[in-house]
Amino acid sequence: MNQRSILFFFFAAVSLLSWATDEIVINRPGQQHDHIEYYLPADAPQALYDPDDMEIIIVGDGFADYYDVDIVSMVTMQSVISTQISGYGDTIDISSLPDAYYRIVIHTSYNNVYDGFFTIESE
């Protein structure tokens, strides 16, 4: 297989993944953005919500050794899922969670904290 074919399949797979999922905007709590450009640290993961498969996809590049992930219900303010995943990322099954508004909190092996919000809605 030549390099063009490999690149085509790679970008096709990435575009299909992003089409089927919703990105969860990840922030660092307490950080002030006083410039137009703001860059997250190298250990920042990407988080995606896949409503079809009912899972959260955490994408890391291996810079962090691991991620501690907590999903908190914004209704009860209780942690409903708590797990540790590889620094390269993994999926988290959320099919047991009811329709509601949730906060995802991600702690890295470098003691950085990131969070974002997502909503589970039945179709």
* Residues 47-78 pLDDT 10s: 999 999 999 999 999 999 999 999 999 999 99
**In Å, what is the CA distance from 68 to each residue of 34, 64, 65, 81, 98?**
28, 11, 10, 11, 22
12 backbone dihedrals φ, ψ, rounded to 5°: -65, -45
Q: Over 70: is that where the pLDDT of 34 sits?
A: no
**Hey, what domains does the chain have and what are their CATH numbers?**
22-30+43-120 (2.60.40.3080)
Alpha helices in 1-123 (DSSP H): 3-20
Q: How confident is the model over 96-109, as a mean pLDDT?
A: 95
Angular region, 24: left φ>0, alpha ψ -120 to 50, beta rest: beta
